Chains A and B, each alone.
Chain A
Amino acid sequence: MGLDLSFFTWDLARNFLIGGLIFSVVLTLVAMTGGIFFGTLLALARLSDRPWLAFPAAGYVNAMRSVPLVMVILWFFLLIPFLIGRPIGAEWSAVITFTAFESAYYSEIMRAGVQSVARGQAAAGFALGLTYAQSMRLVVLPQAFRNMLPVLLTQTIILFQDTSLVYAIGAYDLLKGFETAGKNFNRPVEAYTLAAVVYFVICYSLSGSVRRLQRRMAVVR
């Protein structure tokens, strides 16, 4: 049995795929932005001398990292309505879950980033009369962020792949779009194959760009 791709038309793409693709991309971008923001705060908390900040942050990061993502998705889908008292759609639940989950992973990257900046940099900031917040914001974090940029982007590609796991709660993402199209046209084999090709093309070209960026940065440094 061969593949028959004739069912695949622009109409089909418009009706089934574009919406899913937009959701996957928006979910990735929101979780990346939120994840890097909260992840940076978590990293600073973990590196803090104050145990009441460092311990809960470490606990949160380790808890998120030791549970399968699918279970985290299910947990949030179960708990958010329970806590706020009303149902929340699978899409919103996914956005909150991925932001919370990715914060833990981005925080590990940012922690390594902050530690990669020479200690003298923060000290120099203090010596110039900057407060802790100022020397972090103006001196340390920009360098940490720059050093870790390739790793942060690689994590974002992994994040994009992981968004397909919203399948567990039935959110309509790119994969779901392919699956629905495959069901409607009774062409599941072709639909899953195309899904794999599309994910591969997106992720392969993105990781290629990250590699090029890495090479360019290596020359500058």
Chain B
Amino acid sequence: MNFRWEWEVFLRDTGGGESYLDWMISAWGWTLAVSALAWLLALVLGSAVGTLRTVPSAWVARLASAWVELFRNIPLLVQIFLWYHVIPALVPPLKEVPGFALVVFALGLFTSARVAEQVRAGIQSLSRGQQAAGLALGLSLPQAYRFVLLPMALRIVIPPLTSESMNIIKNSSVAFAVSVSELTLFALQAQEETARGIEVYLAVTGLYVASAFTVNRAMTWIEARVRVPGQAAPERR
């Protein structure tokens, strides 16, 4: 077996006036854009759904559970196909929406179910007395959530959300299946065109790992910033 590195492959022209390196950088940008927007969507929807799962009203909690079960029990790739092939066919106005946005919705809603589970667990980990104390002080239920429960719960769930935010970068790779020009699609196509799969895959893998690591550091920093004073800080990372 004689293998020689050929990193010059990244300087080759793709045929469109740009090099493979240029293409890879722009693909990295798409990966980060999909992940960041989907993460935003997942945080907002996930916090809302996770909170609703803990409210006293049975049918609201059941509806929120149904949301979680729906998005947790269908493979992400199938969900992306649903958004890309099925929903625009059923709702014609959505045909104008670019594939990129559909993937953001798919990934965001998929991740919102996981975020919701963490937020629910965070709220339920608070002692029951917290809510009772809020209500006893004359707060309404929404106020008790707004001023007592959520400020604690949302900070408690940051460590599990850190791993979700790294998962979302990894999961964004599934967007290749509907031709969003992100890193994995770049890897597939550049491998095919240049036959230098090892160099291409190594570079792409490196970018994924670097992105996830950066997000991990950022979340750890946020965690340290918003830590509840006096609460035991877990010694980790």
Chain A residues with CB under 8 Å of chain B are 1, 3, 66-71, 74-75, 78-79, 82, 85, 161-162, 164-165, 167-168, 175, 188-189, 192-193, 195-196, 199-200, 203-204, 207
Contact = CB atoms under 8 A, between A and B. Distances in A.
B174 A165 contact: yes
Given A71-B187, A78-B201, A193 B82 contact: yes
A69 B208 CA distance: 11
B73 A199 contact: yes
A111 to B, nearest CB: 15
A86 B185 CA distance: 25
Interface of B: 1, 69-70, 72-79, 81-82, 85-86, 89-90, 92, 166, 169-174, 176-177, 184, 187-188, 191, 197-198, 201, 204-205, 208-209, 212-213
Nearest to B166: A66
Among B77, B89, B184, which residue has the most Cβ atoms of chain A within 10 A? B77
B7 to A, nearest CB: 17
A167 B77 contact: yes
B81 A78 contact: no
A168 B78 contact: no
A66 B187 contact: no
A164 B78 contact: yes
Contact of A161 (B76, B170, B205): B76
Contacts of A78: 191, 197-198, 201
A74 B208 CA distance: 14
Nearest to A190: B86
Contacts of A165: 75, 77, 174
Contacts of A196: 74, 78-79, 81-82, 86
Contact of B201 (A66, A75, A189, A203): A75
Given A71-B208, A164-B78, A199-B74, 15 more contacts: A66-B209, A68-B170, A68-B172, A68-B173, A71-B187, A74-B184, A161-B76, A165-B75, A168-B184, A175-B75, A175-B78, A189-B90, A192-B78, A192-B85, A196-B82
A162 to B, nearest CB: 7
Give the top 8 A-B pairs by smallest Cβ distance, nearest first.
Answer: A68-B173, A203-B73, A161-B75, A68-B170, A164-B75, A70-B173, A189-B89, A78-B197
A115 to B, nearest CB: 15
Contacts of B177: 167-168
Contacts of A193: 82, 86
11 contacts: A66-B166, A69-B170, A70-B173, A70-B174, A70-B176, A74-B188, A192-B78, A196-B86, A199-B75, A200-B70, A204-B69
A62 to B, nearest CB: 10
A23 to B, nearest CB: 15
A207 B208 contact: no
A78 B76 CA distance: 24
A192 B90 contact: no
B76 A71 contact: no
Contacts of B86: 189, 192-193, 196
A33 B212 CA distance: 29
Contact of A67 (B72, B75, B209): B209
Contacts of A74: 184, 187-188, 191, 201
Contact of B77 (A85, A164, A203, A204): A164
